[in-house]
């Protein structure tokens, strides 16, 4: 870590630091002063979408802080319906703002703490706010970077001895998805219609998906524009990443099985992808950096980076099944298991000369771990429906039913505090009537 990065970490990530916002100091709060994630919100007092930062159970309205001259940025930077304009200012400005906010929210700083009138306009309860999609997303790419997930799927559908295809250990596999159908947490997800073909059928049929699934993922938001033909070097790739979100790449497995040969997912993936509303910066995640899994064979030179590029992010999936009185946790895993790192994904994505834009979303791919309860998809945990789950009521389930709600959660656990992402939720509603 260079001197500037070290100073930034010391100023904003001190584990002993407390805020005058009491709820931020609760051990299980996702949003302590060490986090300060960015999002876009509105509320009944001001229906205009604008940029805010989460602290405890509150949102800091950055437009109001700017109006009062408490930030080095002007109001227009934050009076926006997306983070894109702010992100485009670059890493130096991201860090400078986080340092300013950390100071203003510190327990020892009286500027806001002791000004009740100003606090009333600056602070908005999260319970009173509507959270919006945090970024305008020009492009969306989904990777396939969990070795455990790829091995499970390969074992399920191919010879277990050849579960991983020869290219999997050489390149971060990915495909270009649909940016237009990325939605914010809380948006209902309509069951997709599509073509499916039963093994005994002569021809496919068109109708609602029968094997609707989740994919527990994270995503990172690209923070810089690049020019066509100019790759991003792996060692410098993280400087081009603004932050991370939780991501559920809903999947229609029966539609996918029929359509994916020869070109891969299409309608089976393009109907909805849900992301969490708060973007957690890489600086906030810095204390939880860890070594990535050993890569063998060693990657080609353009995919090599020194140091540690994994992050210890705990992940859970809750399913509140229709007709069930309570939710149940159906998966627990960790981002640290990911074989290919975010830096390698971005370096590979641009290695051909493909340009990226501010706000581009890059999905990690399903995150599965080494145990049976750490599968990031129902496809794996039920082994394509052959091993049903038992719900709290005793009912057995395989894939998602109409009325089911899925909630993803993720956090990094510190000593007496956590840096969290909030939740990423979606409820399944019935498919449209087919023509």
First to last CA, the chain: 58
DSSP assigned state of 230: -
Contact in structure between 64 and 121 (CB atoms under 8 Å): yes
CA atoms within 13 A on the CB side of 299: 21
What would the two tokens of residue 69 be? 């001259």
Residue 46 CB burial class (10 angstroms; 0-12, 13-18, ≥19): middle
Separation CA 156–CA 397 (nearest Å):
19
Helices within 182-314 (DSSP H only):
253-259, 282-285
Nearest-10 crossing angle of helices 91-104, 3-12: 30
Integer CA distances (angstroms), 9 to 102, 109, 125, in order: 11, 19, 27
Please pick, among 68, 132, 149, 320, the residue that the annotation labels catalytic. 149
DSSP 101-164: HHHHTBTT-HHHHT-HHHHHHHEEEGGGEEEE-SS--S-EEEE---HHHHHHHHHHHS-GGG-S
Residues 6+ away with beta carbon under 8 Å from 365: 142, 143, 144, 145, 146, 149, 173, 174, 215, 217, 338
* Phi/psi of residue 169, nearest 5 degrees: -85, 0
What would the two tokens of residue 304 be? 């090599």
Query: Is 149 known to be catalytic?
Result: yes
What would the two tokens of residue 22 be? 């009491």
Instruction: Determine how β-strand 328-334 pairs with β-strand 314-320.
Output: antiparallel
CA angle 105, 111, 113 (to 5 degrees): 60
Positions marked catalytic: 149
């Amino acid at each position: 870590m260079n001197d500037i990065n070290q100073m930034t970490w010391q100023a904003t990530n001190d584990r002993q630091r407390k805020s005058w916002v009491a709820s931020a100091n609760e051990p299980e709060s996702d949003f302590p002063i060490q986090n300060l994630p960015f999002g876009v919100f509105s509320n009944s007092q001001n229906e205009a979408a604008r940029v805010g930062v989460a602290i405890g159970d509150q949102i800091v309205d950055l437009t109001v802080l700017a109006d009062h001259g408490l930030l080095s940025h002007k109001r227009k930077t934050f009076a926006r319906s997306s983070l894109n304009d702010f992100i485009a200012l670059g890493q130096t400005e991201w860090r400078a703002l986080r340092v300013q906010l950390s100071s203003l929210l510190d327990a020892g700083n009286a500027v806001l703490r002791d000004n009740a009138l100003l606090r009333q306009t600056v602070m908005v309860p999260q319970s009173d706010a509507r959270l919006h999609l945090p970024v305008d997303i020009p492009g969306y790419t989904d990777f396939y970077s969990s070795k455990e997930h790829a091995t499970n799927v390969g074992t399920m559908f191919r010879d277990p001895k050849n579960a991983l295809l020869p290219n999997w250990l050489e390149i971060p596999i990915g495909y270009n998805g649909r940016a237009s159908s990325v939605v914010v947490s809380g948006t209902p997800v309509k069951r997709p219609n599509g073509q499916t073909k039963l093994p005994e059928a002569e021809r496919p049929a068109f109708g609602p998906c029968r094997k609707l699934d989740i994919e527990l993922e994270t995503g990172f938001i690209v923070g810089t524009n690049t020019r066509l033909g100019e790759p991003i070097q792996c060692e410098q790739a993280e400087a081009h990443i603004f932050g991370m979100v939780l991501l559920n790449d809903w999947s229609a497995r029966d539609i996918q099985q029929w359509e994916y040969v020869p070109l891969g997912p299409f309608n089976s993936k393009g109907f909805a992808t849900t992301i969490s509303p708060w973007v957690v910066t890489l600086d906030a995640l810095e204390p939880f950096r860890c070594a990535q899994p050993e890569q063998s064979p060693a990657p080609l030179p353009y995919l090599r980076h020194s140091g540690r590029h994994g992050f210890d992010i705990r992940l859970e999936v809750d399913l509140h099944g229709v007709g069930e009185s309570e939710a149940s946790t159906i998966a627990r895993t960790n981002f640290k298991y990911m074989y290919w790192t975010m830096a390698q994904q971005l370096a590979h994505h641009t290695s051909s000369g493909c340009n990226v834009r501010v706000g581009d979303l890059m999905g990690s791919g399903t995150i599965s771990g080494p145990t049976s309860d750490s599968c990031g998809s129902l496809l794996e945990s039920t082994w394509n429906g052959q091993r049903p789950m038992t719900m709290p009521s005793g009912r057995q389930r395989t894939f998602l039913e109409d009325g089911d709600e899925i909630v993803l959660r993720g956090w990094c656990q510190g000593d007496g505090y956590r840096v969290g992402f909030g939740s990423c939720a979606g409820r399944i509603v019935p498919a449209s009537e087919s023509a």
